[in-house]
Structure 1
Amino acid sequence: MIFCSTGAYGHTYPLIPLALAAHDAGHDVLFATADPFDTELKAFGLKTARVGLRVVDALDLEPGSHLDFDAIARMFAETLPRAVLDDLGPLLAETKPDLVVHEAACVGAFFAAKLAGVPGVCHGFGKVDGFVTTDPAAPATTELLAAFADTIGIPYEGLAMGGGGDPYLDICPPVLQTPDLLAAPNRVPLRPVAVNAKDEELPAFVRERRRERPLVYLTLGTVFAGIAHEVLAGAVEGIAALDVDLLVATGPALDPAALGTVPDNVRLEAWVPQSRLLPHVDLVVHHGGSGTTLAGLAAGRPHLVLPQGADQLANAHAVTEAGAGDWLSGEEFSPGAVTAKVRSLLADDSVRGAAQRVAAEIAAMPSPEDTVRRLVRIADEARS
């Protein structure tokens, strides 16, 4: 089996649990993605191949800023698919896999599998209509993808978010997912599992802290912390005003030193093993990225979402509608508003109960190990 993802944390890490389950079941697994994610995957014991570009590198090739909607559309609909197609096509011809598991935004892998005649399975990373309904770049991306598909002779309508006709592995629990996808015949539910490399440890601050007061975890993910530095700083100010401990993960896009001197109840880290951290926290304050949203809910933790772009607004609405948290729009955001929301959420047992109900729904979804057996059946049926 070949797994292939877009070169970004939020697109690569959701595929790791299934790839590991396939590897542990004795299948020959190759994970194809961009540098340096191919190197990171080796820490999980997976064989890797370098395919495509990192999202940030692909954006650098586009004229315009990283927040320009036309540049984002060209990146996802032309630059990234072409880079993956150019690299993955020869790899498929050489390895002749039985199956390609392509991440939903990695449309180049969908195209490459179709051109090679290899059966494909699409692996989602969150709420399927997130980009389509809330991202201003989505209409242009759809139009450009259709044109790109036409140039290579592949019938294709719309974004790959619904699998492009392939079986669609949906890691979003039903309570959050759009009804149209829940009714789709190609939907295959799969439990989201947060992972970290085995040698990553919790910060000493978490292991050694006194537990008399709540622990709040704040992150804007691996991309938006650098773009929304002022939002992160304002959130730190607002949360630190309360009698809580605050752990902030700035991610690779922002040096923790950029936040300057912080109060004594705040700890700054560039990176934390999120899957190990979440069971220890009382509230997750974040940007609404699909990975953090699903990981926090799988741990039964309430959320305060500060959406910045992409699919984050859709995730913020979904969390709120499930009763598992709240959100602040850009117009509402201020340190004082964050203080008020965090204080309210920490005191609200109903929100905590709703988050735990979502966690129970996630726990009842088919495991990666169960889903590997489904993948084998899909490959066998394609050969017969």
Structure 2
Amino acid sequence: MTGPSPAEPGGPPRHLAFLPYPAYGHMVPVLPVVSELVARGHRVTCFTTDAFTDRVRATGAEACLYDPPLSSDPPPDVIDADECARAPLKLLEASTAVLPAIESRFVDGPPDAVAYDTTLWLTGRLLAARWACPSVQLSPTFISNEHFDLSERHQEFAGRIDPAHPAIVEFGERLTEIVAGSGLAAEQQAELFYGRQEFTVAFVPKAFQFAGGTFDERHVFVGPTVSGEDGAWQPPSDGRPVLLVSLGTTVNNRPDFFRACVAAFADLPWHTVLALGDRVSPAELGPLPPHVEAHSWVPLSAVLPHTSVFLCQSGMGSILEGLRAGVPMVVVPHHPEQHVNAARLSELGLARVVRREDATAGTLRAAVLDVAGDTALRARVGAMRPHVESAGGALLAADAIERRLRAVTLETP
């Protein structure tokens, strides 16, 4: 990637602290932005875990480890209202536990800005307030305002959270305790809670965001930042239509699902590509027909241009890859955020949704064949494609972060 030199519109080189959440769906959109900022002459210190250290170093940034490490374990198989009530407290405790290690890294002088994942919202805002520097919130998914509340939509699928749940009560008490003990002025403490003045970079296209037209200039929608993964794949030589199947990186421990896909298309003139992930081995599927191939990993960007239908779990990374390639989808959401993604796809007429409990060989086969023959759906996907392709990606994200730096610098007396 290349961008303007800091001497042009970007301003002088700065030192930026990045606090991404160390999970695949959160790290992958951020790393190209880090790479672009480094290419523009900025110094970036990026916190991570061992699993992503090499990827961070490849951007040219300095990699520092979260201590204690933030968990990147897959979420529970079932996320209900009880789990949703407990999650904020777990995240609060984990994200504030890393504060001392982050502050010790900058004991010789604070960075010029803090860019933090939305799950580390208190950590990022607290550090920025203490260091009196601008901050940028990074969101790998939909963002909220007064017209759309992501948490409310999650509860439609996970169940309503009881405000009196012990974990919610404890979360409120701990949050109040942390903010009150921050040493910040009252108005700064309120900003920690609400983030009304926060600047957000969202890795979704504005056309795909719920109520996208209602967000103001403090929100920048840059879409996907990754142009494609390295790797080669060859389409079938016999001209069969290709079905690509993937459950992403968090819900892929489903050999039964992949077996159902094999059964669904074994007797049809389709070429099926299964991207299994690292928790199911091809051997678990048994003997495969010659027109079915199974891989632990396959570059989606290499397969999707040849794909007629993409069957996936409705993770944001997967669906944006599909939309950028102009491929209609069948989605089988598992977790609440995937259900919200699927609801948006359905609302815009870009995919068919199959409930997880209904995902038999028969229903998957019917859904894929239905989508393959739906010319109106394909046209809608084609109309969304340029919005994804032209959203701006890493270049726009880097521009937005530099504008944030300049704006706050100009406001500082």
Distance across 2 between alignment mates of 1:58 and 1:223: 5
Aligned to 1:217: 244
Q: Measured at CA, do residues 39 and 238 of structure 1 come closer, stay the same or move farther in structure 2, by a change above 3 Å? A: same
Shift of 1:80: 2.8
**Identity of matched residues, %:** 22
Once residues 74 and 327 of structure 2 are traced to their aligned partners in structure 1, the CA distance between those partners, rounded to angstroms, is 34
| Corresponding letter in the other structure for 1:55 | S
> Does 2:14 align with 1:14?
no
CA distance in 2, matches of 1:38, 1:292: 23
Deviation at 1:211, TM superposition (A): 5.4
2:400 maps to 374
Whole-angstrom distance in 2 between the partners of 1:11 and 1:372: 17
TM-score (norm 1): 0.85
Q: Contact conserved, 2:330 with 2:367, CA < 8 A, in 1?
A: yes
- Alpha carbons 2:275, 2:297 under 8 Å: kept: yes
Give secondary structure in 1 for the equivalent of 2:137: strand
CA offset digits 1:262-312 (Å, max 9, x no partner): 322211111222334322322211111111111211221111110011300
Deviation at 1:112, TM superposition (A): 3.3
Cα shift readout 1:225-244 (whole Å, capped 9, x = no counterpart): 12x44333323432444321
Consecutive unaligned residues of structure 1, counting only runs of 5 or more, are 60-64
2:336 aligns with one of 310, 313, 317: 310
For 1:131 and 1:234, the matched residues in 2 are separated by 32
Alpha-carbon deviations, 1:332-384, whole Å to 9, x = none? 32110000111111122222221121111123323422332331221123233
Q: Which residue of 1 aligns with 2:38?
A: 23
Q: Closer, same or farther in 2 for the Cα pair 1:365/1:127, shift >3 Å?
A: same
Matches within 5 A, 1:231-246: 231-246=257-272
Separation in structure 1 between the aligned mates of residue 197 and residue 106 of structure 2, nearest angstrom: 20
Decide whether aligned partners of structure 1 residues 283 and 30 sit closer, same or farther in structure 2, where only a CA change above 3 A counts: farther
Aligned partner of residue 73 in structure 1, secondary structure:
helix
1:47 offset after TM fit, Å?
3.1
1:152 and 2:188 matched = no
Distance of aligned partners of 1:8 and 1:239 in 2 relative to their CA distance in 1, 3 Å threshold: farther
2:219 paired residue number: 187
- Cα distance between partner residues in 1 of 2:360 and 2:28: 31
Q: Which moved more, 1:300-309 or 1:268-277?
A: 268-277
Letter in 2 for 1:220: L
- Counterpart of 2:50 (choices 32, 35, 46) is 35
State the match for 1:84 in structure 2: 98
2:203 corresponding residue in structure 1: 171
Against the structure 1 CA distance between its residues 116 and 48, is the aligned structure 2 distance closer, same or farther, given a 3 Å change threshold?
same
Task: Give the distance between the partners of 2:19 and 2:58, measured in 1 at CA.
Answer: 17
CA contact (8 A) 1:142 1:159 kept: no
Counterpart of 1:288 (choices 289, 307, 314) is 314
SS of residue paired to 2:252: helix
Look at both structures and tell me which one has the larger radius of gyration over its CA atoms: 2
Equivalent residue for 2:292? 266
Coordinate RMSD, CA, aligned: 3.0
Give the one of 362, 381, 385 matched to 1:359.
385
Q: How many residues align?
A: 371
* One-letter identity of the residue aligned with 2:231: E
Change (3 A) 1:142 1:366: farther
8 Å CA contact retained: 2:137, 2:201? yes
Q: How does 1:40-189 map to 2 (within 5 A)?
A: 40-51=55-66, 53-57=69-73, 67=78, 70=82, 73=87, 76-94=90-108, 96-107=110-121, 108-128=123-143, 129-135=149-155, 136=158, 139=161, 146-153=172-179, 155=189, 165-179=197-211, 182-189=214-221
- The match for 1:62 is none
Are residues 47 and 353 of structure 1, via their aligned partners in 2, closer, same or farther at CA, if it must alter by over 3 Å?
A: farther
Q: Hey, what's the Cα distance between the residues in 2 that align with 1:138 and 1:81? A: 25
Give distance in 2, aligned partners of 1:234 and 1:156.
51
Render the CA deviation track for 1:182-205: whole Å, top value 9, x for unaligned. 4345211213123556xx312xxx
Measure, in 1, the Cα distance between the counterparts of 2:196 and 2:191: 7
Alignment of 1:328-347 (within 5 A): 328-347=354-373
CA distance in 1 between partners of 2:271 and 2:71 (Å): 34
| Deviation (angstroms), 1:74 | 5.1
1:212-252 Cα offsets, whole Å, 9 max, x none, are 111111111111012x4433332343244432111111222
Task: Give the Cα–Cα distance (whole angstroms) in 2 for the partners of residues 74 and 137 of structure 1.
Answer: 15
Conserved in 2, the CA contact under 8 Å of 1:29 and 1:47?
Answer: yes
Kindly provide the amino acid, as one letter, of the partner of residue 175 in structure 1: A
Asked if the contact 2:351/2:377 (under 8 Å) is kept, the reply is yes
Secondary structure of 2:119's aligned partner: coil
Deviation at 1:31, TM superposition (A): 2.2
Q: Cα gap change, 1:24/1:329 in structure 2, threshold over 3 Å: closer, same or farther?
A: same
Q: 2:294, 2:316 → 1: CA distance?
A: 22
